[in-house]
Amino acid sequence: MIDKKHIAIIGGGIAGQEAASVLTGLGYKVTILEKNERMGGMLNKWSKLFPDFSSSQLVLDAVKVATDKNLNVICNADIFSVQKENGRFKLSDNSSLDVYADAVIMSTGYNLFDATLKEEYGYGVFENVITSADFEKVHKSGEKLTTADGKAPRRVAFIHCVGSRDAKTGNTYCSKVCCITGVKQAIEVTQMWPECEVFNFYMDLRLYGSKYDALYLEAQKHHKIQFIRGRLSEVSERQGKELQLKAEDTLQGRPLRMKTDIVVLLIGMEACKQNEDLCRDNALELDENRFFKSKNIYNHRNSSTQSGVFLAGSCICPMSVNESLESARSAAMLVDKSLKVQER
């Protein structure tokens, strides 16, 4: 009796929507609970996708769930409690909203690292220090990236691993997508300003995905982007809001100082703060990085530690767009499988 079963999806980003369309396709009744006013999640903030510079809108349009009699979308629903009652799940938000479901998919996504926590990089203090998310905003608006006083930058420095792989910020894991984002955005800067010199400061270039390394090669070959292996130590402001960077050129074993007009911090992904609330009234657990813990990371990656609650997308760990979508589809299939088993 599939059509009687109701599945609640927390989070209406691309993973939530993808899972919803698979499940409605299978005949389930689905409710998406989105905490923001509009669907689409973090991808709304992104302009172009790596590695081929497709517009993020293409993905957003593709995942947009068709109106379906079985689909109910509730925006501004900030769920803070998931409880199991009589074999069903009760989801509640701060207002009087209560949703009952036979299964729940968590697709709460991720938060961006708050770059102000990395004080020595001066985000929020120096106007010409921006984050990768700020850069996307500029790019999406169709404007060109300029310094705070509207000038064309002569030099831009991208800083990798901001809020990732850093015990000082409490995030010791790798956010995985920032390296390729750094390469992509560096190319975009040279596309905006062909005369601009672009430097990327990295520790390891973790270009793990298909065709990512080709983009790196392209960045070097055709865009003359320079990669310096060394973690940025500090940013300070000189007169005229020009920035000064300190890093080690580790391949030479010498400290390096550089002036630059703009610094772009490639901020990492963090687990959503709400995840903690969502774990409170059930058996859900978080892993050491505060993402949802899978039952096991190999063959039960989409299963949470609470039976009946499934995980999709970057609430499990940092993921790229395509990984997130794949994860969502497999979560949906798992829901289907487990409800059918229950039925029997």
Partner 1 sequence: MRTMMQKLREDVRLKEGLNACMGCGICTAVCPAAEYFEYDPRSIVVTVQSGNEEKIRKLIESDTIWMCGQCMSCKPRCPRNNCPGLIISVLRRVSQETGAFVKSRLGRQQYLILKTIGTNILETGYCVYPASVVPETHPEQGDVWKWIYDNKEAVYERVGANLDKEGPGAMRKIGRENLDELERVFAESGGQTLFTSIVEYSRAYAKESGFVDANGQPDMEKYTDFLLNEDNDEK
Partner 2 sequence: MKNSQVNVTKEIADDNYFYLRSCIRQNFFPGAENVFLDILKNKLGKNIIDNANHTSCTGIGYHSDIVPYETYQTMVARQFALMTEHGFRNAAVSCITSYGGYHEVLETWKEFPEEEAKARKNLKNATGRCFEIPENISHSCDIIYRFRHDIAELAKYKLINKQTGKPLRIVDHIGCHYAKIFPDKGVGGAEKNTVLSAVVEAWGGESVDYPERRHCCGFGFRHYLVKNNRSYSISNSKKKFESMEPYCPDMIVTNCPGCNMFLDKWQYALAKIEGKTYSGDKNGIPVLSSEELAALVLGYNPWDIGLQMHQVDVEPLLEKIGFDYNPDEKYLDANGNFMGKPEFIGCLD
Partner 3 sequence: MSQFDFLQPKSRQIEIEQFDDRILTYVLEREQSFLTCISCGGCTATCSAGNLTSFNVRKIGLSLRRGNINDLSDEVQKCMFCGKCTLVCPRDINIRNVVLLIKKGIAQLETEKTL
Residue numbers at the binding site for partner 2 (CB under 8 A): 116-117, 119-120, 123-125, 234, 236-239, 244
Angstrom distance (rounded) from CA 167 to CA 188? 31
Nearer to partner 1, 13 or 230 (CB): 230
Q: Is the Cβ–Cβ distance between 279 and 309 less than 8 Å?
A: no
Angstrom distance (rounded) from CA 183 to CA 335? 37
Is 54 an interacting residue with respect to partner 3 (CB under 8 A)? no
Least gap, CB of 284 to partner 2 (angstroms): 31
166 binds, among partner 3, partner 2, partner 1, none (CB under 5 to 8 A by kind): partner 1
Q: Is the Cβ–Cβ distance between 206 and 179 less than 8 Å?
A: yes
230 binds, among partner 3, partner 2, partner 1, none (CB under 5 to 8 A by kind): partner 1
Task: Give the sheet arrangement for strand 294-296, strand by strand.
Answer: 71-74, 29-33, 6-10, 103-106, 309-311, 300-304, 294-296
3-state secondary structure of 21: helix
Nearer to partner 1, 52 or 120 (CB): 120
Is 251 an interacting residue with respect to partner 3 (CB under 8 A)? yes
Nearer to partner 1, 150 or 253 (CB): 253
221 binds, among partner 1, partner 2, partner 3, none (CB under 5 to 8 A by kind): partner 3
224 binds, among partner 3, partner 1, partner 2, none (CB under 5 to 8 A by kind): partner 3
Least gap, CB of 95 to partner 2 (angstroms): 33
* Tokens encoding 122: 């001066």
124 binds, among partner 1, partner 3, partner 2, none (CB under 5 to 8 A by kind): partner 2
116 binds, among partner 3, partner 1, partner 2, none (CB under 5 to 8 A by kind): partner 2
Is 117 an interacting residue with respect to partner 3 (CB under 8 A)? no
Please enumerate in sequence order all residues whose Cβ is within 8 A of that of 324, keeping only pairs 6 or more positions apart, or say none.
Answer: 13, 14, 15, 18, 312, 313, 314
Q: 120-148 as b/e, with b when 16 or more CB fall inside 10 Å?
A: ebbbeebebbbbbbbbbebbbeeeebbbe
Nearer to partner 1, 167 or 341 (CB): 167
Least gap, CB of 162 to partner 3 (angstroms): 20
Select from 146, 226, 274, 289 the one that contacts partner 3 (CB under 8 A): 226
Nearer to partner 3, 236 or 252 (CB): 252
In degrees to the nearest 10, what's the CA dihedral of 290, 291, 295, 301? -160
Angstrom distance (rounded) from CA 42 to CA 36? 11
Provide the pairing of β-strand 294-296 with 103-106.
Answer: unpaired
Find the part of the chain contacting partner 3 (CB under 8 A) among 257-265, 267-275, 288-296, 320-328. Answer: 257-265
152 binds, among partner 2, partner 1, partner 3, none (CB under 5 to 8 A by kind): none
**β strands within 163-276, DSSP E:** 197-202, 226-229, 234-237, 243-249, 254-260, 262-267, 269-271
What does residue 145 show for φ and ψ, rounded to 5 degrees? -70, 125
Provide the pairing of β-strand 294-296 with 300-304.
Answer: antiparallel
Locus of tokens 């040279």:
190
Nearer to partner 1, 30 or 179 (CB): 179
Least gap, CB of 135 to partner 1 (angstroms): 23
Least gap, CB of 275 to partner 1 (angstroms): 24
- Which residues would be at the binding site for partner 3 (CB under 8 A)? 199, 205, 217, 220-221, 224, 226-227, 229, 249, 251-252, 254-259
